[in-house]
Copies of this chain bind each other. A is one copy, B any other.
């Protein structure tokens, strides 16, 4: 029997949910035409405290419910949208929706990154779909390209600026020469960083998103805890100055690569060539460069967050689920975690390094340092001593290496720190040699 309408249930009433509800109302005619029948918002599951929010006042009173059972037992709902965010109770709600035979659309990166495999299996068992385009990169199409458009490719690499807050902070540091603390404060004042910014600046948010993308691209379960992670708080104005002088930009990148038998996945600050395309992505923009064996390099860029861009992705998923219902096709997920590959430890990666250290300003120091690198089989590509402080008799030394194993590098750094002539290893940053666009 042809469906007369598709019923929508909405969980949560934050800014994203409010925007989604607004689009469903304001664009109902266009969406109905695209689906083949109207999309009707039937119920909105809220918390008692949500009732005072401005979004609540926009909605017909009868639509809102604080009662879980009333929401999940509502018979006219075909698709449930989860836009609560955070792990709990979103996870339990999604489970309950899928188990009850409802299609689910979510914008929840944490739930998908941590429980995606379980939830996709649950969806399959109940013959429904679980869609999550909005969980990564706001309205930028990213999940769909991996599932559909790039399906003929073996994905060799993902290089992503995937957290707007940190990219904004790094852009300010690069342009104005200010320190991390000052840039963070500015970002907080402008609403680009949260009062408690840890999730962003420590790379936790980027790690969730990379887990989702890498799992999809490499057909395996890449869990957040499998991904090596470093934040941006130890970067200083000096690092940006030397980076620029050496022809690099500094970005927080989420990186995933595939080789024949293993993959690597990591989130940390990197030096990338100034003329590479990702180096030019400034401010709160997100950009994801994907390398496929056929397509070569493709790049997707846009606003990675915000209610409107996120609603664009949520509604696209709702329309796609609704079309499947109208056509009577069960939503089939073809994703399987079957690649059989292992995840390489950070110790095993090979890359170039930038090392900045403070040493005593006296003859023979550089030779000592070079000896440590040499003993660990790390070749130095350049060593400069841009500054020395007469008073403290301290010289700053900046070293760029040729590709080396992380394990060897870590050992070299520990040994450098033991040298009597080295006051401190001030920073070391990996170099990612992505080509320019």
- What is A's interface to B at a CB cutoff of 8 Å? 23, 27, 31, 33-34, 36, 133, 138-141, 144-145, 148-153, 277, 280-283, 285, 292-303, 306, 308-309, 311-313, 315-316, 319-320, 327-329, 332, 334, 336, 437
Since A300-B300, A329-B329 are in contact, a sample of 10 more A-B pairs with Cβ atoms closer than 8 Å, ordered by chain A residue number, is A34-B151, A36-B334, A133-B149, A144-B144, A144-B145, A152-B311, A281-B437, A296-B303, A297-B303, A301-B437
Instruction: Give 6 closest A-B pairs by Cβ, nearest first.
Output: A152-B315, A139-B295, A298-B302, A141-B149, A294-B312, A295-B312
Contact residues in B for A34 (Cβ distance below 8 Å): 151, 334
Contact B297 A302 (CB under 8 A): yes
A329–B315 Cα distance when bound, in Å, is: 22
Which chain B residue lies CB-closest to A152? B315
- A293–B296 Cα distance when bound, in Å, is 30
A153 to B311, CA, bound (A): 10
Q: Which residue of B lies closest to A27 (CB)?
A: B152
Complex A-B: 11 CB contacts under 8 Å: A34-B334, A139-B150, A139-B294, A141-B148, A144-B144, A280-B437, A285-B437, A295-B302, A299-B300, A299-B302, A327-B332
> What is the bound-complex CA distance between A356 and B332, given in angstroms?
60
Question: For A295, what are the chain B residues with a Cβ–Cβ distance below 8 Å?
Answer: 138-140, 302-303, 308-309, 312-313
Copies in the complex: 2
Using Cβ atoms and an 8 Å threshold, which residues of chain B touch A280? 277, 280, 437
Given A144-B144, A149-B313, A334-B33, A298-B300 contact (CB < 8 Å): yes
Residues of B within 8 A of A300 (CB): 298-301
A158 to chain B, nearest CB (A): 14
The residues of B that contact A27 with a CB separation of less than 8 Å are 152
The reply to whether A299 and B296 contact each other, CB–CB distance below 8 Å, is: no
Contacts of A133 in B (CB 8 A): 149
- Contact between A140 and B298, CB atoms less than 8 A apart: yes
Q: How far is the CA of A349 from the CA of B363 in the complex (A)?
A: 70
The docked-state distance in angstroms from the alpha carbon of A237 to that of B138 is: 41
> Residue on B with the closest CB to A308?
B294
- For A19, give the chain B residue with the smallest CB separation: B294
State how many angstroms separate the Cβ of A1 from the closest Cβ of chain B. Answer: 17
Q: Which residues of chain B come closer than 8 Å to A293, judged between CB atoms?
A: 308
Instruction: Specify which chain B residues have a CB less than 8 angstroms from the CB of A144 in the assembled complex.
Output: 141, 144-145, 148-149
User: Contacts A150-B316, A315-B152, A319-B152; is A309 near B294 (CB within 8 Å)?
Assistant: yes
In whole Å, how far is A314's beta carbon from the nearest beta carbon of chain B?
Answer: 8
Q: How far is the CA of A133 from the CA of B152 in the complex (A)?
A: 13
* Smallest beta-carbon distance A104→chain B, Å: 18
Instruction: State whether A299 touches B298 (Cβ < 8 A).
Output: no
CB pair B309 A296 closer than 8 Å:
yes
Contact indicator B319/A151 (Cβ below 8 Å): yes
Whether A277 and B294, one on each chain, are in contact in the complex, defined by CB atoms closer than 8 angstroms, is no
Could you tell me the distance between the alpha carbons of A285 and B289 in the complex, rounded to whole angstroms? 14
CB pair A23–B294 under 8 Å, yes or no, is yes
Q: List the B side residues contacting A33 at CB < 8 Å.
A: 334, 336
Say whether A296 contacts B139, CB under 8 Å: yes
A312→B140 contact, CB < 8 A: no
A145 to B139, CA, bound (A): 11
Which chain B residues lie closer than 8 Å to A31 at the CB level?
A: 152
